[in-house]
Each structure stands twice: as structure tokens, then as C-alpha cells.
Amino acid sequence: SQQGEEDPQALSIQEGENATMNCSYKTSINNLQWYRQNSGRGLVHLILIRSNEREKHSGRLRVTLDTSKKSSSLLITASRAADTASYFCAVLNQAGTALIFGKGTTLSVSS
């Protein structure tokens, strides 16, 4: 089964609203990463949060990490139509060899 699972599967909001996506994982981690995928394109790295960090910001992105609950959230503030994409969290697999991804949250921002 997937190491990371995003919630919700799909999210539709209006421009200007905030979007929150959640990720749960199963084992201990070194870091957790969030990626974005536009339709028909490859994944693009957004932000990495280390296991000893609780919150991290990058522009309109805010990521939190709760290692006790094995969960993370990605908040996009003041969303724009261009934020329409799928968002994935990723952690190392149990072997510690490679990143594995959840099935993603599909975000749709309408103007």
C-alpha cells in the first residue's frame, strides 16, 4: 500500500479562497515533500519539510508536519486559477531507497 495518502481526493474552490490538502503516512520519516503536477506534465517539487520542523512557508504555500499523528498539510492561500493541478505528498519507502507518492489531491480553482 502507498506510504503517503492525500485527502481529499478532489477539491474545487473559487479564486481567492484558501485550499488545504492533507497527507497521512505510515512509518517514521526523515522528511516529507510536496509536489505539484499540471495536466500532462511531470511532477514539480514544491517544498520539503524535515522531521524536526513543524511548519514551513514558501510564498503562498504553508506546510505543517505533525510526526506524532504522522500527518502533514499543505495550505495554498489566495488561490489562483493557475494553481489548478494535482498535489502529491511523498516520503521515503520503507527500504529507504526512493520516494513514494500518494494518489494526490486534484485541485480545481475557478475564476
Partner 1 sequence: DAGVIQSPRHEVTEMGQEVTLRCKPISGHNSLFWYRQTMMRGLELLIYFNNNVPIDDSGMPEDRFSAKMPNASFSTLKIQPSEPRDSAVYFCASSLAQHTEAFFGQGTRLTVV
Determine how β-strand 105-110 pairs with β-strand 85-92. antiparallel
Q: Which of 23, 90, 107, 109 binds partner 1 (CB under 8 A)?
A: 90
Q: x/- binding map, residues 10-39, to partner 1, per CB under 8 A? A: --------------------xx-x-x----
Report which of 91, 100, 98, 104 is spatially closest to residue 38, judged by C-alpha positions: 104
Contact status, residue 105 vs residue 8, Cβ threshold 8 Å: yes
Cα 101 to Cα 92: distance, rounded to the nearest angstrom? 9
Task: Please pick, from the candidates 11, 63, 74, 104, the single residue that binds partner 1 as defined by CB under 8 A.
Answer: 104
User: Binding to partner 1 by residue 105, rule CB under 8 A?
Assistant: no
C-alpha cell at 103: 494518489
Least separation, in Å, of the C-beta of 34 and partner 1?
A: 11
Is 18 or 28 the residue whose CB approaches partner 1 more closely?
A: 28
Which window, 13-21, 60-68, 72-80, 91-99, contacts partner 1 (CB under 8 A)? 91-99
Are β-strands 105-110 and 10-14 bridged in parallel, bridged antiparallel, or unpaired? parallel
Q: Which stretch binds partner 1 (CB under 8 A): 11-19, 53-61, 68-76, 101-109?
A: 101-109
